Structure 1
């Protein structure tokens, strides 16, 4: 299945933090369908923490079936990355990936075995000449420092050594993207440029935010911040270098994340769109009761073939 601009336009809907679990009902799935019907995307991207709390294999299969059903029933292509809650001790991301990829409209890939994580891949969006006019970089932002997907050649207690009394960030226990992932993006970006004779404008989707997202909330006027920041940015204490690599390559227009459910802001820092995608889940923290329910939604990204180096994005509320 190929992604392609239609009538010169392409729309992406990012839905994140569904946290769909056994015995949580179908409200989240209905909300996903509602947003899809309202926005009419060409691609739906699930940005992690898609399922949670699956204690049995049948739970896992059922939860995945539910969370992909809004796209499968409508015949809409979709892709996904993993968050810090998708994996459980019993059901690895590789196990889940095999289930996801059996669905006919799934465009996700497991990625290279030599690159840490599961779900590091590039999705091209073709133009009229059958060449990539735009692209989406999907990256596995790992889990937490106490549940490391990829062990380090580190001597000592890494978690203890990183989480000092006076933290660099908010004190989040988030893991970090590995150097090999950044290297994969950088090298693959250069390979694509050499193959097609030009850089391919693109976005990046991953679950946990980068440290650089702090630049938006600390400088709302200068970064033309739009939207709400209702909680601290729970990024890793360890900088992956991904932002620097993307700035150096200058082919990534924006980075889109989830993880912090009560944030849905967007801003531009160093010519890079940095945006949260909120949460679509009815059972995610901060989305269960009270005023925060009004924050539930997803993020739309609109692309134009006539100007692929420019994107427009808006947060769409479920109750809107």
Structure 2
């Protein structure tokens, strides 16, 4: 299996999409210009996943630099924040910190008000690059967001205060209805006005679906589904999507009329199916998590695409029914959570994608390997997307911070990302080698 599955003949080596000119004030996203998610006339649709910012109210400058550089390089139609944007355990949230959702200790309203303002400060920082470029975005939640003391439902309301957010409003969630977007991309409940871009919403904040239409807006080509994958389980370990979320996933394909890709925070237990058990002393072996803790693993080269890396065991629920819910009507799952993992695998026809952290105030791989993920869909084969990690070392260079970073990756040289360069830029090696010819 290779990263580049199909390449049009005669494709130029030059970037097809250039950064916006200084005088061009139009939104970068074609979908934002049109007020609906749809493929370009080129037949492409691009998503940028941003995983595990995991920061407090003062977001790292290097994290923001990576987001800005990724947006300018990829020019995505949509950005998906896949959970753990907020490090709820940050000392700034100490007075409202909640270790688990079910903790019943009352939090003073004054502390919650302070936390709300700090959360707004953080969100404003990491979404500002999107607002200035006119790029729509959506968000789901992980196991640390709520720990600041605010529920996912309240966080959802705060996110919707910011320009470009198209998460469904609370009334759509409560009524399990479909809502639309204004033509400028801002959310609007269906109330008889002329609107575009239907979005199917569940009752769970962070769980909803966005259909992507063809060029002529005659049909849905694919669905992009955000899933609130849960946080912690009673008794230890990580949680799973709620029964309501699983019911939503099972019912959705009939409404979309096309296959969908899921974006969520937590990886599925089936991610272990694209790994290979090895001896504990094998090169680059990583110990599994909880029920897999007695086994060491490396990526299975027959089940994963070249260029990926495993830097820690898959931290997933012990058991989950989600994979079964995705057997019909879905073609892939994109997750974050494991900050040191970056790979693309396949199990029983479903793509299983792991994206490392982009954050610089949390643990992760070496600074140069912290990344966002570009996923490019082609209308000719929409269920066979191409994907690439957009790495800090390639896009930005050296971090501004002098702090010491600890990291581990499961191969000597992760090399040129995960395969084909979707940005169509010449590699550094090709540029340097040309100097000596």
| TM-score normalised according to structure 1 size | 0.83
Q: Matched residues in 2 for 1:69 and 1:45: separation?
A: 15
Q: Matched residues in 2 for 1:213 and 1:41: separation?
A: 27
Is the contact made by 1:15 and 1:47 (CA closer than 8 Å) also made in structure 2? yes
The 1:25–1:281 alpha-carbon spacing in structure 2 relative to 1, beyond 3 Å, is closer
Q: Matched residues in 2 for 1:72 and 1:51: separation?
A: 19
- State the structure with more CA Rg: 2
1:207 corresponds in structure 2 to 265
Unaligned runs of 5+ in 1: 146-157, 164-172, 194-199
1:221, distance to aligned residue in structure 2 (A) = 2.8
Q: How many residues align?
A: 283
1:125 corresponds in structure 2 to 212
1:85-234 equivalent positions in 2, closer than 5 A: 85-88=144-147, 90-109=149-168, 112-113=173-174, 117-130=204-217, 131-145=219-233, 158-159=234-235, 173-193=237-257, 200-218=258-276, 220-226=300-306, 227-234=308-315
1:26 corresponds in structure 2 to 61
2:48 corresponds in structure 1 to 13
- State the secondary structure of the residue aligned to 2:326: helix
The 1:286–1:224 alpha-carbon spacing in structure 2 relative to 1, beyond 3 Å, is closer
Q: Does 2:392 align with 1:318?
A: yes
The 1:86–1:285 alpha-carbon spacing in structure 2 relative to 1, beyond 3 Å, is same
1:31, distance to aligned residue in structure 2 (A) = 1.3
Give the aligned CA root-mean-square deviation in angstroms.
Answer: 1.9
Is the contact made by 1:176 and 1:236 (CA closer than 8 Å) also made in structure 2? yes
1:244-259 equivalent positions in 2, closer than 5 A: 244-247=324-327, 249=328, 251-259=329-337
Q: Matched residues in 1 for 2:368 and 2:330: separation?
A: 31
1:33, distance to aligned residue in structure 2 (A) = 0.7
**Equivalent position to 1:68, from 106, 127, 133:** 127
1:302 corresponds in structure 2 to 376
- State the secondary structure of the residue aligned to 2:215: coil
Q: Which moved more, 1:222-231 or 1:135-144?
A: 222-231
Is the contact made by 1:20 and 1:28 (CA closer than 8 Å) also made in structure 2? no
2:341 corresponds in structure 1 to 263
1:3 corresponds in structure 2 to 37
Q: Matched residues in 1 for 2:84 and 2:304: separation?
A: 28
1:36, distance to aligned residue in structure 2 (A) = 1.2
1:148 corresponds in structure 2 to none
Is the contact made by 1:136 and 1:202 (CA closer than 8 Å) also made in structure 2? yes
1:46-61 equivalent positions in 2, closer than 5 A: 46-52=81-87, 53=90, 55=93, 56-61=115-120
Q: Matched residues in 1 for 2:383 and 2:342: separation?
A: 23
Unaligned runs of 5+ in 2: 1-34, 94-114, 177-201, 277-298, 395-437
1:89, distance to aligned residue in structure 2 (A) = 5.3
| TM-score normalised according to structure 2 size | 0.62
Q: Matched residues in 2 for 1:214 and 1:58: separation?
A: 40
Q: Matched residues in 1 for 2:392 and 2:368: separation?
A: 8
